[in-house]
Amino acid sequence: MKAALLTILILLLAMPVLAQQAPPTWQQGRTPDQASSPLAPHAQPPAPKAASEIPVNTIKVPAGFKVELWASGIDNARAMTWGDKGTLFVSSRGAGNVYAVVDQNGRREVKTIAKGLQMPNGVAFKDGALYVAEISRITKYEGIENNLDSVPQPKVVIDTLPKDLPHGWKYLSFGPDGKLYFNIGAPCNICMPPETHAAIVRINADGTGLEYVARGVRNSVGHDFHPVTKELYFSNHGRDWLGEDVPNDTLHHVVQRGVHFGYPMCHQGDILDPAFGKGHACSEFAAPLLKLGPHVSPIGIHFYRGSMFPPEYTNRLFIAEKGSWNKTDKIGFRVTMVTLQAGRPPKEEVFAEGWMGAGGQFWGRPAYVQEMKDGSLLIADDYAGAIYRVSYQK
C-alpha cells in the first residue's frame, strides 16, 4: 500500500522540468557575478576515438601494474556489468546505446544491442536477464546472452519513475538482498527537490516494493556494496557555483536505511547552503565518509574483490573521477583508491592518471570501473569511448 502510494506520488510529482525557454540547467544557481563565467560543462564528443588515436601509454599506474587498451569504438562507454556467460554489457548516457562486448580469443567484438534509449546509464544482470535503467523506466532483456544478434524485446520492470532529465540518469545494481538499487537525482543544480527526488531507492526485481534507501543525495551515479559488511557506499556530486574550491564531491556510507545526507541544506557535511541552509545545522544530517575534492565528479565506485592485485588491495574502493568543469584549474580525470580500515580515517590515493595533461587539456574521462574474473580492472572512458584493462604482475 505504501509502495503504491509512493508510486502515485512519483507520478504526480514527475512533472518534467522541461523549461524550454529557460537557461540551461547547469547554469542554475549562478550568482549575478558569475553570469559571465567562462565555465561550462565539457561536451561529449560526437564519436568515439579510433584505437590508433588513444594514447593509452600516457596513463600512469603504480609500479607492477600495466594498462592496455581493451576495447574501443564504444560511443560514450559508461557503466559495465558482466553476464553469466562472460559478456560485458556496457551502458551509455547521451549516445542512447547499450553494448555487448564479447571476448573471442583475445579480440573484443563490440555489438550494439539497443539504441535510441533515453540515457540508458544503468545496467545490471541477474538470472540471465540484462536490466537497463533509462530516465523514467527500467526494462529487462531476458536470455540476452544467447541472443546478442537477435535481441529480444525488453519487458518493463517499472516505468513510473520521474521524467526529469537533469540528474535523471541512473546507476543500477543488484544489492546483496537481490533488490535493484538506483538513484533519483535532484532535478536541478540547487533547488528544494520534490520528496521523490535526490535519493537512492531500491525495488524488487519485479518492479514492486519501492523503498527509499538514502535521502538528501544530489546526484549519485555510482555505488557498490562492501564485500564483507554488505553495506552500501555511494559517490555523490556536490552542487555547482558555490565556489572554485567548495563544496567537495563526496563518498558516503549508508549505515541506516532512509538516512538524510543533507542536500540541498548542507553540502559536504559542513557547509550550509546560502539559501536552503537557513534555519538548519549540518549536524542534522549524515556526514560524508570522505571529501573527494571540489568538482572532481566521482562516478563509478568499485570494491576490489579479486586476487590478482597485491593483498593490500583487497576490499579497497576504486573511484573513477570524470573530472571537473565548474573549476578554472581542472582536477579529477583519474581513478583513485580508498583504503577503509575500522577505527582509522579513510585514506585516498591516486591509482591511475594521465587522461589530462599539465595544460588542463584532456583526451579521456574515466567514468566507471569493473573487475574481470581474473582480478584485473576495467576502466570505462565515456569521452574516448574506450575500455582499458589494468593488470598486475609481480
Partner 1 sequence: MTTRGPSTASATRSKTRHFLLALVAGATALAATPVADAADAEAGRRKAEPCAPCHGPSGNSTMPTVPSLASQPPTFTYYQLVMFKRDKRRDPQMTPFAMNLSDADMQDLAAYYAAQTPASPPAVSAVATAEAGGRLVKQHFCSSCHTPALMGQKHIPRLAGQQQEYLLKQLRGFKAQTAADLDGSMTMSAQPLSEQDIELLADYLAHLPPGGGS
Which segments of 211-333 are extended strands (E)?
A: 211-215, 223-225, 232-236, 248-254, 259-260, 266-267, 271-272, 290-294, 298-303, 317-321
Closest C-alpha among 120, 145, 140 to residue 130 = 140
Choose, by CB under 8 A, the member of 358, 373, 393, 394 that binds partner 1: 358
Query: Does 284 participate in binding partner 1 (rule CB under 8 A)?
Result: no
Closest approach of partner 1 to the CB of residue 172, in Å: 23
CB distance 164 to 104 below 8 Å: no
Query: Does 49 participate in binding partner 1 (rule CB under 8 A)?
Result: yes
Closest approach of partner 1 to the CB of residue 327, in Å: 15
Choose, by CB under 8 A, the member of 42, 126, 179, 305 that binds partner 1: 42
Choose, by CB under 8 A, the member of 5, 8, 15, 40 that binds partner 1: 40
Which segments of 322-385 are extended strands (E)?
A: 334-339, 347-353, 366-371, 377-381
Closest approach of partner 1 to the CB of residue 21, in Å: 6
Query: Does 55 participate in binding partner 1 (rule CB under 8 A)?
Result: yes
Choose, by CB under 8 A, the member of 82, 108, 305, 375 that binds partner 1: 108
Query: Does 34 participate in binding partner 1 (rule CB under 8 A)?
Result: no
Query: Does 58 participate in binding partner 1 (rule CB under 8 A)?
Result: yes
CB distance 369 to 300 below 8 Å: yes
Neighbours of 209 (CB within 10 A): 14
Choose, by CB under 8 A, the member of 82, 212, 241, 363 that binds partner 1: 363
Closest approach of partner 1 to the CB of residue 109, in Å: 6
Instruction: Give the interface segment with partner 1, choosing from 181-189, 213-221, 278-286, 351-359 (CB under 8 A).
Output: 351-359
Instruction: Give the interface segment with partner 1, choosing from 32-40, 125-133, 211-219, 372-380 (CB under 8 A).
Output: 32-40
User: What is each CA distance from 14 to 18, 182, 221, 311, in whole angstroms?
Assistant: 11, 17, 20, 47
User: What is each CA distance from 300 to 47, 59, 91, 170, in whole angstroms?
Assistant: 22, 18, 12, 11
Query: Does 96 participate in binding partner 1 (rule CB under 8 A)?
Result: no
Choose, by CB under 8 A, the member of 153, 283, 361, 393 that binds partner 1: 361
Query: Does 46 participate in binding partner 1 (rule CB under 8 A)?
Result: yes
Which is it for the CA torsion 357, 358, 361, 366, positive or negative? positive
Query: Does 318 participate in binding partner 1 (rule CB under 8 A)?
Result: no
What single string gives the DSSP state of each residue in 145-214?
GG-SSSPPPPEEEE--S----TT----EEE-TTS-EEEEE--SSSSS---TTSSEEEEE-TTS---EEEE
> Total binding residues for partner 1 by CB under 8 A?
47
Residue 122 or 364 with smaller CB distance to partner 1: 364
- What is the edge-to-edge ordering of all strands in the sheet holding 180-184? 172-174, 180-184, 199-203, 211-215, 259-260
Query: Does 116 participate in binding partner 1 (rule CB under 8 A)?
Result: no
| Residue pointed to by grid coordinates 559542513 | 270
Choose, by CB under 8 A, the member of 8, 45, 127, 345 that binds partner 1: 45
Query: Does 86 participate in binding partner 1 (rule CB under 8 A)?
Result: no
Residue 258 or 357 with smaller CB distance to partner 1: 357
Residue type, 103: D
Burial classification of residue 130, based on how many CB atoms lie within 10 Å of its CB (0-12 exposed, 13-18 middle, 19 or more buried)? buried
Closest approach of partner 1 to the CB of residue 245, in Å: 22
Which residues in this chain contact partner 1 in the complex, by CB under 8 A? Answer: 20-24, 27, 35-36, 38, 40, 42-47, 49-58, 68-73, 94, 107-110, 354, 356-364
